[in-house]
Structure 1
Amino acid sequence: MKTLLISMLLVLAISPSFAQEVFSKSGEAIQGYDPVAYFKVGKPVKGKSEFSYQWKDATWHFASAQNLEAFKASPETFAPQFGGYCAYGVADGHKATTSPDAWTIVGDKLYLNYNKDVMALWRKDQPGFIQKANANWPTVKKEKD
């Protein structure tokens, strides 16, 4: 019995569910907003549950069937960088939640921030923060949430 308990604790300790690669509240990526809409209409648009897709252990919602199909064809094109965690936070070496209305597209990539105040800081040196975040992400994404 003791061996079984220890085995179960070890499995839980190394389980990827403790370290999420995609920021999601209640399992919904971008708090239910459509990642494709940022590119197509230039603003955050709430997705609909009838247009949803499971990817990287999160549920992604879309405003239309066309956006859903575009994402399915190329999720890496539309998904926010750093799993939707705050790009400024990742540049600083940690995970932070994000707000769907604090966003920027740079070089055809979507970046989210904690809030609009942090987004303003982020915009002061996007190339530098992107470089730091890209370097930090392989380690940061393994952090427990």
Structure 2
Amino acid sequence: MVLRRVMLAALAALPVGLVLAGEASTQPALTTGQRLALKGYDPVAYFTDGKPIQGAEAYELSWDGQRYRFASAQHRDLFRQDPDKYAPQFGGACTMNLAAGRKREADPHHWIISDGKLYVFAGASGPANFAKDPQANAARAAENWQRLRGEAFH
């Protein structure tokens, strides 16, 4: 009986959107306390505005184990409709570090869109180095991502 009251109280404390989002597990949900992706920058802005724009806590949701913030409700809704299109590759890890076998947090100010995908990098030379051979670099990063995905960022 006590457990039931605790569970009901916990469910009552959840925002309605979080409870409803659970109905479609492939759709992004409201946040839960997960890692903040892209250091809070809006992933949709790279595509729509051509630059990184800081997101707002008011427009936050969770997808693929991370929290994403958006500059507007419109950007949040675009992401919700097609997260695979807008989410950074490799969970926001530096693509070139991944290609070299290391998982490192990227700086959202160093980025490139290649083949319709957002790649972010730890340093200013990352986009240029990636662009020298984007297919090979993305393939190496993807291969290492499978091994390093669960490790902490460095």
Report the TM-score, using the length of structure 1 for normalisation. 0.77
Aligned residues: 120
Matched, 1:42 2:42: no
Kindly report structure 1 stretches of 4+ aligned residues shifted beyond 4 Å. none
2: CA distance, partners of 1:83 / 1:48: 19
Residue in 2 that maps onto 1:63: 71
1:102 alignment partner AA: H
- Where does 1:22-33 land on structure 2 (aligned, <5 Å)? 27-33=35-41
Q: Displacement, 1:133?
A: 1.2
Matched, 1:102 2:110: yes
Residue in 2 that maps onto 1:84: 92
Q: Percent of pairs identical after alignment?
A: 37
- SS of structure 2 residue aligned to 1:97: coil
1: CA distance, partners of 2:148 / 2:99: 9
2: CA distance, partners of 1:101 / 1:134: 21
Report 1 or 2 for greater relative contact order, CA contacts < 8 Å, sequence distance ≥ 6: 1
1: CA distance, partners of 2:59 / 2:75: 9
Unaligned runs of 5+ in 1: 1-25
2: CA distance, partners of 1:109 / 1:94: 21
Q: Displacement, 1:144?
A: 3.7
Moved more, 39-48 or 127-136: 127-136
Unaligned runs of 5+ in 2: 1-33
Residue in 1 that maps onto 2:150: 142
Residue in 2 that maps onto 1:124: 132
2: CA distance, partners of 1:128 / 1:27: 28
- SS of structure 2 residue aligned to 1:96: coil
1: CA distance, partners of 2:116 / 2:145: 19
2: CA distance, partners of 1:87 / 1:35: 16
Matched, 1:53 2:61: yes
- SS of structure 2 residue aligned to 1:116: coil
Q: Displacement, 1:30?
A: 0.4
